[in-house]
Structure 1
Amino acid sequence: MPMTFDQATVDSTGAFLVHELERLDQTLNLPLTSQTWSRDIELREDVSIADEMSSFTNTTFAAAGTPNANGKNWINQLSTAIAGLNVDIAKTGFPLELWGMELGWTVVELAAAAQVGRPIDTQKYDGMQLKWNMDTDEQVYIGDAVKGAKGLLNLSQVTPTNATKTWATSTPDEIRASINQVLSNAWVRSAYSKVPEDLLIPPEQYSFLASTIVSSAGNQSLLTYLETNTIAFHQNGKPLNIRPVKWAIGRGVANADRMVAYTNDKKFVRFPMVPLQSVPIQYRGIYQLVTYYGKLGAVEPVYPETLNYMDGI
């Protein structure tokens, strides 16, 4: 008969007293969580654990025309004063914050958990990975108030606009108009150079779009309809990528729900990260300890004018 332990003695190792007529399901049921950061933003992977800052530059050109300063650069064969070009390069930097967690167990706990097929070291590693992804998820979408970092949904460089009414009280045409408006605003801000390709909305609004039928034949949801019936599809040549994100709930002014239009491309916006690393396992008496560490930056809006927010949807 295998050795077993009662719950009060070694509950933390995952070993329990199993009765003769008890059928224990050996499946490990981890906490229910959802992290979508890897879906919604591309990583800047050139940063290293030695870096303390991540930065980028934006270049601005200035050129005066001749003879009209606001016109073209006309010259003639006898010109002696020819206008030149001015270049200004501005640097923007964000701190790379060190993240770490120490995992530890005793050799007794390790033996007890291994005997029942639930190694404590593997479980703690899974828990640490879960915390890393949860922290990264929050950092990507809303940043960190203590560190003063901003995320994809609350960038200070983007001024939100307000919807005329909530989607729940809007017709399909009014919803389409509000989406076209948030896309158009970003298009205008970028000097008509880029229409956003991606749209993040709260889960409730996403469910509303998916369940609302717009075709008289009843064969097309509003969500599917909007993917190909906005300026994004006609300008970019591909469907608008509409996705739900829980962090958009109450993220707007006065706790209103927020919609963000952007392009998920590291050319426009990205997130610097140094993946988790570990030090060699350390032994202290009967304890085994291992430390994992990595670095999380802040969302880099290289071209903030390509993003736009709308609150109150």
Structure 2
Amino acid sequence: MQKIDFTDAQAALGFVMPAFYNIEQTVYKRRYPSFDYASLIPVITEGSEWARGTLFRSSDAAGKAEFLSGKGFDMPYADVTRDQFLKGFELAGIGYEWSLEELQVAALEGRQLGSEKGEAARAIAEQFLWQTAMTGQTEKGWTGLVNDATVPAALAAATGTGSTTTWSTKTPEQILVDINSAIEGIVTSTQEVEMADTILLPFARFNAIATRPIGNGADKTIATFLRENNTYTSETGRPLTIRTLRALNTAGAGGTARMVAYRRDPEVVRFHLPMPHRFLPPFQKSSMTWEVAGILRTGGTEIRLPKAVSYIDGV
């Protein structure tokens, strides 16, 4: 087998590039369900990858109709209030490198370089985006889906044994009241404009309602009964989505478990990802290493209608 001269840049490039494209294709075919933020938050990838951010404008009607005299001059007028909000985007990255030894050994054995490093970089990127989407990034002053300070937060009703709030001390009926209260709270605070269609729970709380019967001798669990009998389904005829989210285990006040109720719609909440993670072509950064940079740009989670979201702590 002919030995490749890696001191010749063109010869080295001819070996590295086919390996890179094969690895890139393999990596992006894989899925990472444990970091599936897109199923919980609408992901927005529109616009320029290199935009500074996105500008969001909102408006509302103002004014009040009043009784008038037939000859009066005091006509009340309507007006429109306008606000605008800017959400900035930031660059992040995770890549990998090949050493001269790895290149030489692979060339000598007549094989392509393995995809393990690329897969590791991709998995780390997805984990970074998941954390950003759910809890934000302290370095950038960002919050996420489960800890936005503008979202109304309340303590679960103290109706459990000994006036506790935790579901482990409550009856199935009391648990159902807690969940329906979260949905109804959104309806009330938005004057019946918004209604939650999704409930997120810590795994232990979800597991409890998924396995605990609704009553003695009942053939339905709390979760089964809840999906059929809740404020949202009764009003719309559509099923209520109930999902687990490990980020909720200690997201509540004082490190307590938190429940999140919200309408899963980009009008309410969105995750800005103008540039999903991607690899740049490899380049020789030193006499003994080739680097493959991996970059992404995100603006994190933006909750545009905080009153369409509700936090219930201490469940």
Which TM-score applies when normalising by structure 1?
Answer: 0.81
Specify the alignment match of 1:22 in structure 2: none
Instruction: Please state if 1:84 is matched with 2:77.
Output: yes
Asked whether the 8 Å contact 2:152–2:306 carries over to 1, the reply is no
Asked whether the 8 Å contact 2:186–2:308 carries over to 1, the reply is yes
Asked whether the 8 Å contact 1:66–1:75 carries over to 2, the reply is no
- Of Structure 1 and Structure 2, the greater helix share is in 2
Question: Which stretch of the first structure deviates more once superposed, 301-310 or 101-110?
Answer: 101-110
Within 5 Å, give how 1:181-196 maps onto structure 2: 181-196=181-196
Equivalent of 2:146 in 150, 153, 166: 153
Specify the alignment match of 1:213 in structure 2: 213
Please, which runs of 5 or more residues in structure 1 have no aligned partner?
1-29, 68-73
Shift in Å, 1:248? 0.2
Shift in Å, 1:232? 1.3
Shift in Å, 1:54? 2.5
Task: Map Cα deviations across residues 91-137 of structure 1 (whole Å, 9 max, x no partner).
Answer: 122221111123210243145468597834x2111111111111111
Instruction: Please state if 1:282 is matched with 2:283.
Output: yes
Within 5 Å, give how 1:89-108 maps onto structure 2: 89-108=82-101
Asked whether the 8 Å contact 1:57–1:89 carries over to 2, the reply is yes
Specify the alignment match of 1:139 in structure 2: 132
Matches of 1:198 and 1:116, distance apart in 2: 52
Matches of 1:250 and 1:161, distance apart in 2: 15
Which amino acid counterpart does residue 283 of structure 2 have in structure 1?
Answer: Q
Instruction: Please state if 1:299 is matched with 2:293.
Output: no
Percent identity, please.
22
Asked whether the 8 Å contact 1:186–1:307 carries over to 2, the reply is yes
Specify the alignment match of 1:232 in structure 2: 232
Matches of 1:113 and 1:33, distance apart in 2: 32
Shift in Å, 1:245? 0.4
Matches of 2:189 and 2:117, distance apart in 1: 47
Return structure 1 stretches of 4+ with deviation > 6 angstroms.
none
Equivalent of 2:113 in 108, 113, 119: 119
Matches of 1:161 and 1:42, distance apart in 2: 25
Equivalent of 2:121 in 122, 128, 131: 128
TM-align CA RMSD = 2.4
Which amino acid counterpart does residue 291 of structure 1 have in structure 2?
Answer: A
Which amino acid counterpart does residue 176 of structure 2 have in structure 1?
Answer: R
Which amino acid counterpart does residue 189 of structure 2 have in structure 1?
Answer: R
Asked whether the 8 Å contact 2:195–2:308 carries over to 1, the reply is yes
Specify the alignment match of 1:45 in structure 2: 45
How many pairs are equivalent?
A: 275
Matches of 1:233 and 1:200, distance apart in 2: 16
Match of 1:225, SS? helix
Shift in Å, 1:215? 5.7
Matches of 2:218 and 2:112, distance apart in 1: 50
